[in-house]
Structure 1
Amino acid sequence: MSLATTLSKNDQFVLSTILGGGEGPAIEFSNPNKRKIVVDVEMQPDRHIKEVEPLVEMEKTAIKLIENQKDYERASAILDSIIKQEPNYASAYNNRAQLKRLLISNDANEESQFNSIIDDLEKAIKLAEPEGKNSGLDIIVSKMQATLLQNAYTQLGAIYIKMAGIPANADRAWNFEEKASQMLYRAGEYGSELAKELSSKVNPYAKLCGNMVQEALAREQRNLYQ
């Protein structure tokens, strides 16, 4: 959940196992000014909500219902009520997306099954992204913002990887992998070294280059023994 400081074990497992294949060169997405993302622990946690503590306590209740009792219905109702009460509170959208991911079938093979999750994650990111991010200055975020954006971008990356593997999406797999790579790289910018590393492995251009290099090395090695 967004209150965690690291990726869940499930996300680490999914991202680590699903990205098998050729290794390619590191891909870095556009950041022309080489701006750094700086976490300010004194900064207001949420730029839209002045008093987040009551909302955080409600989220903790929902998380305990999920983790301890598997009571997904009550947890969902709590997250829905938070969003109804404070529609600009990004963390609730992120946590609701993660709950929806828990409920979706592991063998889901319909793109439409992921649309609601993507909507929540994109909403969370839109609300949590810092203002003035297009300026040449370093990007200053609160600890809650950094953790939330890391988690939301990672979830989006995992979903796009899943969508790339749906048979009906075979002709669009390249696009989904490219999106996944971009989302994982953004998660890396906000602090997830694992996601940033995996962003290159899932990037279709990097994988193509990696496969070409491997093939060239294999040909060279065969030539040595001829």
Structure 2
Amino acid sequence: MSNPHDRIILNSVVNPLLPLGEGVYDDEHEIPETLKDNEEDNPKTRESKALEQKAIAACDAGCYPKALELLAQALDVAPERAAIYNNRAQVYRLMNQDLEAKMDLNRAIDLSQGRGRSACQAFCQRGLLWRKEGNDPEAMADFRRSAELGSEFAKSLLVQLNPYAAMCNKMLKNVFQALESGSNEVENPFPSIPDPSGTKQG
């Protein structure tokens, strides 16, 4: 079994856009209730998990085709495990095969019934793909679901995508720029709303 440090490093490889340590746990006892996958502990599940670990090691070595091969074997052993689809989607994302990744994420969400760690990660990954495509409404919906399941990364992305937060950030930026320049005029971050001071904006 890998130690905590190894698990963090391996997770960062297959989750390149997630912060270090997000979703990484030493053992099943450390996983919060909201993130536990509903999986039976039987020989097939254990065999598929062992194959997943080998796939992560292959991914760590940059051997993506080998990782996909191992994950396919894991699916042959336990085809109803959502985690395998989620992990394979991570590999597809690293290979820039977004269509295949999204198909696997949809399957992971269906199999998990939108609950547990696999669903949490799948919603977040799919949200990143939606955002990459420029579909912010779908991205926000998926990040919201992931955040509700406990993803801090998804919560931070929701703040970034919130249009009101973006406008407030722009207003603060304008205020600080005005202070630095010694100007009394601050650019109106809401151009569609008249400036209540009646001052012409620069």
The TM-score, its normalising length taken from structure 2, stands at 0.65
1:154-186 CA-to-partner distances (Å, cap 9, x unmatched) read 10010001111xxxxxxxxxxx21000011111
Q: Distance in 2 between matches of 1:120 and 1:79?
A: 12
1:176-221 CA-to-partner distances (Å, cap 9, x unmatched) read 2100001111111111123123224325687689889832689356
Question: Are 1:102 and 2:94 matched, yes or no?
Answer: yes
For the residue of structure 2 that corresponds to 1:182, the secondary structure is: helix
- Point out where structure 2 has 5 or more consecutive residues left out of the alignment: 1-6, 20-31, 172-187
Q: Distance in 1 between matches of 2:8 and 2:147?
A: 13
Q: Does the aligned pair in 2 maintain the 1:96–1:120 contact within 8 Å?
A: yes
Match of 1:11 among 14, 17, 24: 17
Q: Distance in 1 between matches of 2:78 and 2:163?
A: 39
1:56 to partner: Cα distance: 1.3
Q: Distance in 1 between matches of 2:140 and 2:34?
A: 27
Match of 1:149 among 119, 135, 159: 119
Q: Distance in 2 between matches of 1:114 and 1:183?
A: 16
RMSD of aligned Cα (Å)? 3.7
Match of 1:60 among 53, 72, 91: 53
Aligned to 2:158: 199
Equivalences for residues 34-45 of structure 1 within 5 A? 39=33, 45=37
Q: Distance in 2 between matches of 1:194 and 1:40?
A: 16
Equivalences for residues 178-193 of structure 1 within 5 A? 178-193=137-152
Larger RCO of the pair (alpha carbons < 8 Å, separation 6+): 1
Larger radius of gyration: 2
1:100 to partner: Cα distance: 0.4
1:124 to partner: Cα distance: 0.5
Q: Distance in 2 between matches of 1:221 and 1:12?
A: 43
Q: Does the aligned pair in 2 maintain the 1:121–1:152 contact within 8 Å?
A: yes
Aligned to 2:108: 124
| Percent identity of equivalent pairs | 26
1:46-74 CA-to-partner distances (Å, cap 9, x unmatched) read 34x4422222111011101111x211111
1:40 to partner: Cα distance: 6.6
- Point out where structure 1 has 5 or more consecutive residues left out of the alignment: 14-37, 105-112, 131-140, 165-175
Q: Distance in 1 between matches of 2:54 and 2:163?
A: 40
Question: Are 1:76 and 2:82 matched, yes or no?
Answer: no
Structure 1 runs of 4+ with >3 Å offset: 4-9, 203-213, 216-222
Q: Does the aligned pair in 2 maintain the 1:62–1:79 contact within 8 Å?
A: yes
- Number of corresponding residues: 162
